[in-house]
Structure 1
Amino acid sequence: MFSTALKEPRRTVEEYDSVLTWIVTALLAIGLVMVYSASIDTAEASKFTNYQPTYYLVRHGIFILTGVVAGVLAFQIPTQMWQKYAPVLFLIGVLLLLLVLIPHVGRAVNGSRRWLPLVIINLQPSELMKLFAVLYAADYAVRKGTVKDHLLQPFLPMFGVMTLVGALLLLEPDMGAFVVICAIAMGTLWLGGFNLKIFGGLLVLLPLAFAALILSSPYRMQRVVGFMDPWSDPYGKGYQLSHALIAFGRGEWLGVGLGGSVEKLFYLPEAHTDFLLAVTAEELGLFGVCGVILLFGWLIVRAFSIGRQAAMSERLFAALVAQGVAVWLGVQAMINIGVNMGVLPTKGLTLPFLSFGGSGVVVNCVAVAVLLRIDYENRRVARGLPI
């Protein structure tokens, strides 16, 4: 009996969060399939794609592979290194946002100047800025921890920095990224235990500022009006939303079948990017949409759990980064899903891990790699090993 016990292989302690890995793998796989389904007819009929039906599929597959490689490299970086260089990375992000606005440097598409052409790819700095904002806000919360009970000293510097970033994003314009980055900054300060009176004031001031932004721009005003009643102008400002709602209606419970969407046939603009969920709803039905939402919910729960474990081992920066990533991905997914369902005005935000877009997919993969690194370090700390 003793010899038999010796022959049994030892159980190895898992070094990473396999559940989180499989959740992200599932989201990336669903995204790859749905991007191909949503774009095949558009690509086949477009001179831009050289009439290749697999154009977006191949490019999205390359983006995913690039994201995985970038994630593997990011996983090798200790969280202490991320903390050390967080202010530098944030400054680089600000400089990239400035470069986008320079004529003949930044690339304009559909009236928005959001991309930097880099020979074979287009870099979207606002996507990088979301990750840099998570790192910077976590580092800021740690550095200002001694004065977090004050009202102005910890709040004003962050408010000034976010105002600068917000101004640059609104000049592009990229209202969606601005909302997400504000949510990251405010959520991180909240989770860092800063004075609650600050957030009480923000709950009053932010809706007023948001209303001022809408009223100051006819473009934003039209989006809000179109969101409130898309059927009043279904061929104008309500065109995208009305067709997204038609797609949801056609999908019913189980959908019309993979590849069977009608709305993707030149009716629904941006079907493979901003409105990918509408095509998913049409082809996979309510159950498909619920599956995607459940995966995102599970991902966010895992991220907060990793953050809580880091906080229990007194690794505050790592905890705030994990929770900041949860806020970022959760808010962005919620906004995109809300836009597709017609409960929020259009923001131009993609669905993380699913929508077509190189910068977004790669940065999302890096964010998950940082999460996995934090979890890896949590496990080593729990076993008394160096990180």
Structure 2
Amino acid sequence: MTAGSLTIKDYMPPMAVDRGLLAAVAALVSIGLIMVTSSSLDFADAVYGDAWYFAKKQFIYLSLGVVGGLVVASVPTPIWERYSGLLLLLAIVFLVAVLIPGIGKMVNGSRRWLYVGPVSVQASELAKFCLIVYFASYLSRKNHEIRFQWGGFFKMIAVIALVVFLLLLEPDFGSAVVICFTLGAMMFVAGVPLLRFLLLALSGVAMLSAMAVLSPYRWKRLVAFMDPWSQQFDGGYQLVQSLIAFGRGEWLGMGLGNSIQKLFFLPEAHTDFVFAIYAEEFGLVGAFLLILLFGFFVWKLIILSRLAFSRKKLFSCYLVFGIAMMIAIQAFINMGVASGLLPTKGLTLPFISYGGSSLLIACALVALIFRVSWEEQYGNH
């Protein structure tokens, strides 16, 4: 069915969803709410005089995310595909607007946030949503072109280059990495020839490596990552405190609420390094179970993507695959940073870390997944 022949029935919100997928999402957001509360109580009490400050805000954002998700899920996928170009334009407008003094909000030396009414929104999170939808649409509409012509390939590279350039001006190196790997993975499964894909991958790695080496503060992070204990009171402080949290957790953890590192030792304990607090309180076994939960969630998305592909629904296929890759890559980077596997990056752990923008966009992406799942079961698209 084409977008132009939609009926009233097609706009009805989906009433049935994949129960396994729903259970995985419910488990992730529940763990997130619990861990934001546990990791922020003392900090919030000392700074804001309200121990439940971050927990209440996270719950409010989750509630807004659920309501917004219902709206997103009520829109048929052909509509998202039709207006994907406007979403790309919206993403670029937000990424440019955040760089304008007086509009973009400066936090910790980075200009990444915009005020939308009373809500502070991170521009890069909005860009992730818009870019995944746009690339899914472009790859499905121009599939022959991107497979056999250089023109389609270079158009996608131009979009990626522009977005990465704007992100690095903020600067937001972590989001640039996530977006590059996510869109690159989508291009690969869409059939971009291996040689072109390798050229893209090599040029991307070379560019990101150059940015890391030529930037003094990023180079400092790399040096601290390679030997954090040599700078345990300087550049390596955050990683050292995170590793101490992992060590204290041992096999079964200290128990919920019993973390020591969250008591002003580990900075950003409820945001970027919440996984370290989780590992301290639930141990290696708990950390492994959380990784398995993320793995199950991504596996369910891959199955749904393959189902859509088998039914020749390329937009739905690439859309779900892109969301799966984005969440998997960001979760891997966040956990890798907290455990010392990767250099420090300012990325949240999807569904788990405190952060309104991250949670709202995660809910919107999940809503798209549920829409595709419902259409595959009951829709006619």
Per-residue deviation, residues 21-65 of structure 1 (Å, max 9, x unmatched): 11011010011111011000001111xx2x000000100010111
> Are 1:374 and 2:367 matched, yes or no?
no
Tell me the equivalent position of 2:136.
138
Matched ranges for 1:266-281 at <5 A: 266-281=264-279
TM-aligned CA distance change 1:119 to 1:142, over 3 Å: closer
Distance in 2, Cα, partners of 1:263 & 1:32:
19
- Tell whether the 8 Å contact from 1:133 to 1:184 is kept in structure 2 after alignment: no
Tell me the equivalent position of 1:11.
none
Instruction: Using the TM superposition, give the Cα deviation of residue 151 of structure 1 relative to its aligned residue in structure 2, in angstroms.
Output: 5.4
SS of the aligned residue for 1:356 comes to coil
Tell me the equivalent position of 2:235.
237
Matched ranges for 1:34-49 at <5 A: 34-46=35-47, 49=48
Tell me the equivalent position of 1:97.
95
Distance in 1, Cα, partners of 2:211 & 2:114:
26
Instruction: Using the TM superposition, give the Cα deviation of residue 117 of structure 1 relative to its aligned residue in structure 2, in angstroms.
Output: 2.2
Distance in 1, Cα, partners of 2:286 & 2:56:
24
Distance in 1, Cα, partners of 2:215 & 2:348:
22
Distance in 1, Cα, partners of 2:131 & 2:116:
23
- Tell whether the 8 Å contact from 1:151 to 1:197 is kept in structure 2 after alignment: no
> Are 1:15 and 2:16 matched, yes or no?
yes
Distance in 1, Cα, partners of 2:117 & 2:262:
30
Distance in 1, Cα, partners of 2:279 & 2:149:
46
Distance in 1, Cα, partners of 2:119 & 2:142:
38
**Which range is displaced more, 245-254 or 177-186?**
177-186
Tell me the equivalent position of 1:310.
308
Task: For structure 2, list consecutive stretches of 5 or more residues without a partner in the other structure.
Answer: 1-14
TM-score normalized by the length of structure 2:
0.94
Question: Identity rate of aligned residues, in percent?
Answer: 43
**Which range is displaced more, 110-119 or 199-208?**
199-208
Instruction: Using the TM superposition, give the Cα deviation of residue 119 of structure 1 relative to its aligned residue in structure 2, in angstroms.
Output: 4.3
Tell me the equivalent position of 2:26.
25
Tell me the equivalent position of 1:356.
354
1:99 maps to a residue whose letter is A
> Are 1:201 and 2:199 matched, yes or no?
yes
SS of the aligned residue for 1:375 comes to helix
Instruction: Using the TM superposition, give the Cα deviation of residue 143 of structure 1 relative to its aligned residue in structure 2, in angstroms.
Output: 2.3
Instruction: Using the TM superposition, give the Cα deviation of residue 73 of structure 1 relative to its aligned residue in structure 2, in angstroms.
Output: 1.0
Per-residue deviation, residues 316-341 of structure 1 (Å, max 9, x unmatched): 00000000000100000000010011
Tell me the equivalent position of 1:182.
180
Tell me the equivalent position of 2:51.
53
Q: 2:218 aligns with which of 209, 220, 227?
A: 220
Instruction: Using the TM superposition, give the Cα deviation of residue 356 of structure 1 relative to its aligned residue in structure 2, in angstroms.
Output: 0.4
TM-score normalized by the length of structure 1:
0.93
Instruction: Using the TM superposition, give the Cα deviation of residue 18 of structure 1 relative to its aligned residue in structure 2, in angstroms.
Output: 1.1
Tell me the equivalent position of 1:6.
none
Per-residue deviation, residues 111-154 of structure 1 (Å, max 9, x unmatched): 01100123422111100111111111111112221223335212
Q: 2:68 aligns with which of 60, 67, 70?
A: 70
2:25 maps to a residue whose letter is V
Tell me the equivalent position of 1:10.
none
Per-residue deviation, residues 323-369 of structure 1 (Å, max 9, x unmatched): 00001000000000100110001110000001000011011011011
2:24 maps to a residue whose letter is I
Q: 2:106 aligns with which of 84, 105, 108?
A: 108
Distance in 1, Cα, partners of 2:84 & 2:202:
30
1:55 maps to a residue whose letter is Y
Distance in 2, Cα, partners of 1:124 & 1:149:
34
Matched ranges for 1:329-368 at <5 A: 329-368=327-366
- Tell whether the 8 Å contact from 1:23 to 1:299 is kept in structure 2 after alignment: yes
- Tell whether the 8 Å contact from 1:75 to 1:372 is kept in structure 2 after alignment: yes
Tell me the equivalent position of 2:5.
none
Instruction: Using the TM superposition, give the Cα deviation of residue 205 of structure 1 relative to its aligned residue in structure 2, in angstroms.
Output: 2.1
Q: Give aligned pairs, total.
A: 367
Tell me the equivalent position of 2:7.
none
- Tell whether the 8 Å contact from 1:180 to 1:331 is kept in structure 2 after alignment: yes
Task: For structure 1, list consecutive stretches of 5 or more residues without a partner in the other structure.
Answer: 1-13
Distance in 2, Cα, partners of 1:186 & 1:69:
31
Distance in 1, Cα, partners of 2:57 & 2:281:
22
Distance in 1, Cα, partners of 2:343 & 2:214:
16
Distance in 1, Cα, partners of 2:167 & 2:131:
13
SS of the aligned residue for 1:19 comes to helix
1:271 maps to a residue whose letter is A
Distance in 2, Cα, partners of 1:292 & 1:58:
23
Distance in 2, Cα, partners of 1:258 & 1:360:
24
Matched ranges for 1:285-304 at <5 A: 285-304=283-302
Moved over 4 A (4+): none
TM-aligned CA distance change 1:212 to 1:151, over 3 Å: farther
Tell me the equivalent position of 1:9.
none
2:304 maps to a residue whose letter is I
Tell me the equivalent position of 1:211.
209
Distance in 2, Cα, partners of 1:378 & 1:150:
29
Instruction: Using the TM superposition, give the Cα deviation of residue 203 of structure 1 relative to its aligned residue in structure 2, in angstroms.
Output: 3.4
Tell me the equivalent position of 1:4.
none
Distance in 2, Cα, partners of 1:203 & 1:183:
9
Instruction: Using the TM superposition, give the Cα deviation of residue 204 of structure 1 relative to its aligned residue in structure 2, in angstroms.
Output: 2.6
